[in-house]
């Protein structure tokens, strides 16, 4: 029997593929990383989409989970040029009356919430204090937690629908702030567990802010790749994998792809029941995205927005709930919830001197081809009168273009699959280990596995750890704080 060309091959160089490749290479294995595009990174890419000198993040832009990732914190990424810039305000949530709630320090956030200040501190204060005890458990597959009492306290609120958790507050500011955070879950806010992502994002804002990588999101991917190569890893770009026959021989193959791509690549090698489970996997809402080159900063009416890297445009809890539910029902609301980032306010490398960039998207039905540019710009203009006058150029992505850019974004779903209660712990299939496929030596390491979407690399870390134990009988590396 011939010796395998590599110990392991990783297909796909998004943050999870890069994380998996690094874990395997750190263990002393020979690892090949394959990327279908000419550039590595998956959702971590930056390009001049509008005009020369204006650098736009193609997908992910603000990175609280990357900076707080238990795995990324073990890596010397600053050595390879990665520098985070942290705006004074993580996120601002403006309202029609010209005021805004903010997510910044716990005290400053509470102060922005008026009559709900005490209720907010009672809810978030203990979770912020106990986050170091539960971070590794929250960003992990289902298991018995290291600190069960702290995890139970988090779960008591996190498992609730955001609409239920919002009842702890009396004023629209606190309710709206929570709704904007929970809407990152990309599902109706009446769904169970929609509070979880909102709480995690608020905790991150209170503990260290929401940083952005200087120069663009590509900087994170470049630093991860540089570390992988420094460890002795090998990478090949422009190699789109359509079948297992294309791969060099290896003892383990890890796929940073979602179930739809895995079925195309390796379906014939998978058991019938596993294929059936993958075909039943649900994708969520898509996104429609706009990037702008701007002559001046966005003129938000609420002054707090000028200090924020991220701005949530949705007004009240009721309006956001209505918008997200309508989108989930296949409609295109005239007032969509808009997530907006304004990186150039804090990173002068993003645009020519005196100019600015902005990045925004709204949720749309999966696979929608409807142009939401006008609706998004109306929402920005609503909270920033005079915004349209500052636009020099724009670039848009609909769901099909997002999927063409990254096949993992099936129907424009940037989360790698719906993150509702039915798939939160069993993505992509109900198995003893969600990272194992039915074929020995083949693993899934994408955001279609726990803990799901976000730039944190934990899906790749846990998949690689599973492969180290199963195939190579090697111990797993420790996480930060262990």
Token output for 454: 């976000």
Token output for 74: 């073990």
pLDDT of residue 145: 87
Digit-coded pLDDT (tens) for 163-175:
999 999 999 999 9
Token output for 414: 């940037």
| Mean pLDDT across 267-271 | 95
Any residues with CB less than 8 A from the CB of 61 and at least 6 apart, and which? 212, 217, 341, 343, 359
Q: Is the pLDDT of residue 81 over 70?
A: yes
pLDDT of residue 219: 98
**CATH number for the 84-211+284-405 domain, one of 3.30.420, 1.20.1300, 1.10.3470, 3.90.660?**
3.90.660
End-to-end CA, the chain: 40
pLDDT of residue 201: 97
Q: Is the pLDDT of residue 240 over 60?
A: yes
Nearest to 154 by CA among 194, 118, 126: 126
pTM value is: 0.95
Q: What is the C-alpha separation between 33 and 239, in angstroms, rounded?
A: 10
Nearest to 5 by CA among 28, 27, 32, 24: 32
Given a contact cutoff of 8 angstroms between Cβ atoms, the answer to whether 60 and 37 are in contact is no
Q: Is the pLDDT of residue 1 over 70?
A: no
Give me the chain's average pLDDT, please: 96
Residue located via tokens 């922005």: 112
Token output for 205: 């804002």
The DSSP H or E segment spanning 195 is helix 194-207
What CATH number was assigned to the domain covering residues 6-47+56-82+213-281+413-470? Answer: 3.50.50.60
pLDDT bracket for residue 482 (50, 70, 90): low
- SS3 category, 404: helix
Q: Is the pLDDT of residue 31 over 90?
A: yes
Domain range summary for the chain, segments of one domain joined by +: 6-47+56-82+213-281+413-470, 84-211+284-405
Q: Is the pLDDT of residue 288 over 90?
A: yes
Digit-coded pLDDT (tens) for 326-379:
999 999 999 999 999 999 999 999 999 999 999 999 999 999 999 999 999 999
Burial of 193-209, coded b for 16+ CB within 10 Å and e otherwise, reads bbbbbbbbbbbbbbbeb
| Mean pLDDT across 266-289 | 96
Digit-coded pLDDT (tens) for 383-438:
999 999 999 999 999 999 999 999 999 999 999 999 898 887 789 998 889 999 99
Q: What is the C-alpha separation between 336 and 334, in angstroms, rounded?
A: 6
């Amino acid at each position: 029997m011939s010796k395998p060309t590599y110990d392991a091959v990783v297909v796909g160089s998004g943050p999870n593929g890069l994380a998996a490749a690094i874990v395997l290479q750190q263990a002393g294995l020979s690892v090949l990383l394959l990327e279908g595009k000419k550039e590595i990174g998956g959702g971590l890419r930056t390009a001049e989409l509008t005009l020369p000198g204006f650098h736009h993040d193609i997908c992910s832009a603000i990175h609280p989970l990357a900076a707080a990732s238990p795995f990324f914190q073990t890596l010397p990424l600053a050595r390879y040029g990665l520098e985070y810039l942290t705006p004074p305000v993580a996120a601002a949530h403006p309202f029609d009356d010209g005021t805004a709630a903010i997510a910044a320090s716990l005290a400053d956030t509470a102060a922005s919430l008026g009559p709900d200040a005490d209720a907010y501190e009672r809810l978030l204060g203990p979770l912020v204090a106990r986050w170091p005890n539960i971070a590794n458990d929250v960003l992990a597959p289902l298991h018995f937690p290291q600190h069960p009492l702290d995890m139970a306290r988090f779960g008591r609120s996190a498992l609730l629908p955001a609409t239920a958790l919002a009842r702890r507050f009396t004023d629209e500011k606190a309710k709206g702030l929570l709704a904007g955070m929970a809407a990152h879950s990309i599902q109706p806010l009446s769904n169970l567990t929609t509070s979880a992502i909102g709480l995690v994002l608020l905790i991150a804002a209170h503990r260290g802010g929401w940083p952005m990588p200087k120069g663009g999101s590509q900087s994170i991917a470049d630093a991860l790749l540089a570390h992988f190569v420094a460890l002795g890893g090998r990478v090949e770009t422009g190699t789109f994998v359509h079948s297992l026959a294309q791969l060099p021989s290896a003892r383990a193959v890890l796929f940073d792809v979602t179930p739809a791509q895995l079925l195309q690549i390796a379906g014939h090698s998978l058991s019938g029941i596993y294929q059936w489970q993958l075909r039943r996997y649900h994708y969520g809402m898509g996104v429609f995205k706009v990037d702008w080159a701007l002559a001046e900063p966005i003129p938000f009416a609420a002054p707090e927005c000028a200090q924020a890297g991220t701005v949530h445009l949705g007004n009240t809890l009721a309006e956001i709930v209505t918008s997200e539910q309508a989108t989930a029902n296949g409609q295109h609301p005239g007032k969509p919830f808009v997530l907006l980032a304004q990186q150039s306010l804090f990173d002068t490398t993003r645009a020519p001197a005196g100019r600015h960039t902005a990045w925004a998207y709204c949720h749309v039905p999966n696979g929608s081809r409807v142009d939401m540019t006008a609706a998004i710009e109306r929402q920005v203009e609503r909270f920033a009168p005079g915004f349209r006058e500052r636009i020099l150029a724009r670039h848009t992505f609909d769901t099909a273009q997002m999927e063409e850019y990254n096949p993992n974004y099936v129907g424009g779903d940037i989360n790698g699959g719906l993150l509702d209660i039915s798939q939160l712990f069993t993505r992509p299939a109900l198995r003893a280990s969600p990272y194992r496929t039915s074929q020995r030596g083949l693993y899934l390491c994408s955001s279609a596995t726990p803990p799901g979407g976000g730039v944190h690399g934990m899906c790749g870390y846990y998949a690689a750890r599973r492969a180290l134990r199963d195939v190579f009988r090697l111990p797993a590396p420790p996480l930060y704080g262990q």
